[in-house]
Amino acid sequence: MPTSSAHPEAENTLASLGEFGLIARVTAGRSQPAATLLGPGDDAAVVAAPDGRVVACTDVLVDGVHFRLDWSTPEQVGRKAAAANLADVAAMGAVPTALLVGLACPADTPVATLEGLADGLWTEAGIASAGVVGGDVVSSSQLVVSVTALGTLEGRAPVTRSGARPGDVVAVCGRLGWSAAGLAVLGRGFRSPVAVVGAHRVPEPPYPAGPAAARAGATSMIDVSDGLLADLGHVAVASGVLIDVRSAAFAVPARLADVGRALGVDPLHWLLTGGEDHALVATFPDAPPEGWTAVGAVAEGAPQVRVDGREYTGDPSGWDHFTR
């Protein structure tokens, strides 16, 4: 018990409140969805897995690496940590059911910070109709948030990265490039435009689009955490196919165009390479369902991702098509 209460009268840090005090505080009054059969407070939680299978994934976020508490509120960090995991569940074609949170943080972390983090985790879990069902809090030198998300496939087969077939349409759902644009703005010391900075702080993955894509017959799917081209690269390798993306298929949002002009960056570069928006990209044998935008095609060939038939150099200034 590294965080036991030395000064119970001063309950403003993790050290003073203690692990159990903190857990009691951040779980009090939360309502759980129906899938939570047994919530926090025991050795383990029990979560419904109605079709006899559970989808599970873990992502870890570290202060100073994946977020900065001077750029984001604790609530935004909590939402981002939850979103990264919930999007992975959606990318399997599954519906999220539950989160578990492993939190390591300095003993002098203010309780308000941890409450904000917990609020963010609950908020984002709620958006995806999932509950926060368990976790652990320990002492460390740096804030580390490890989130595990669970989900249900509702009787369907999981949509993996390996099912893309030549002739499939590549389509995306959700925002691309917004988080990268926001990061570029923050990195230059600005705090606006609020829309792009906010997108970096809190992604908005289109959770229901994952199961919808599965129902529509998606052959492969992944969430865009490292960048569209990088993540499509995982699909290309796992499926053994060549993926060609058409740059003209992307409508560059006016706000990203504005920011790109101000910073001297072709915004299409953000769309193609920016991560952390957690859009979904999938392949479909036919036209993609409503809400998805076709942006490319799957072909036979050595596993790789091309843009307009060529290798993407990563240097937008050298990419003629991008100069607009």
The binding site for its own copies (CB under 8 A) comprises 1-2, 37-38, 41-62, 65-66, 88-89, 91-92, 94, 98, 100-104, 133-142, 144, 146-151, 153, 158, 160-162, 221-223, 226, 238
- Residue number, 53 or 246, with CB nearest to its own copies: 53
- Residue number, 37 or 262, with CB nearest to its own copies: 37
**How many whole angstroms separate alpha carbon 247 and alpha carbon 229?**
11
| Token pair belonging to 289 | 């369902």
| Token pair belonging to 126 | 């709620």
The answer to whether residues 174 and 79 touch, using CB atoms and an 8 Å cutoff, is: no
Name the minimum Å distance from CB 148 to its own copies.
4
Largest CA distance in the chain: 67
Name the minimum Å distance from CB 193 to its own copies.
26
The answer to whether residues 5 and 17 touch, using CB atoms and an 8 Å cutoff, is: yes
- Residue number, 9 or 43, with CB nearest to its own copies: 43
The answer to whether residues 120 and 76 touch, using CB atoms and an 8 Å cutoff, is: yes
- Residue number, 180 or 252, with CB nearest to its own copies: 180
Place of tokens 């900065």: 68
| Token pair belonging to 179 | 């988080």
- Residue number, 39 or 177, with CB nearest to its own copies: 39
The answer to whether residues 265 and 210 touch, using CB atoms and an 8 Å cutoff, is: no
- Residue number, 57 or 125, with CB nearest to its own copies: 57
- Residue number, 133 or 216, with CB nearest to its own copies: 133
Name the minimum Å distance from CB 257 to its own copies.
27
**How many whole angstroms separate alpha carbon 220 and alpha carbon 127?**
24
Name the minimum Å distance from CB 307 to its own copies.
20
Place of tokens 């508490």: 69
The type of residue at 60 is V
Q: Is the peptide bond before 193 cis (omega within 30 degrees of 0)?
A: yes
Angle between helix 111-127 and 19-27 (nearest 10): 40
- Residue number, 4 or 192, with CB nearest to its own copies: 4
Name the minimum Å distance from CB 262 to its own copies.
27
| Residue 10 buriedness (CB in 10 A; 0-12 / 13-18 / 19+) | exposed
**How many whole angstroms separate alpha carbon 305 and alpha carbon 232?**
7
**Residues forming a β-bridge with 95:** 152
Name the minimum Å distance from CB 159 to its own copies.
9
Name the minimum Å distance from CB 64 to its own copies.
8
The answer to whether residues 84 and 59 touch, using CB atoms and an 8 Å cutoff, is: yes
Name the minimum Å distance from CB 165 to its own copies.
17
- Residue number, 129 or 139, with CB nearest to its own copies: 139
**How many whole angstroms separate alpha carbon 149 and alpha carbon 100?**
7
Name the minimum Å distance from CB 162 to its own copies.
8
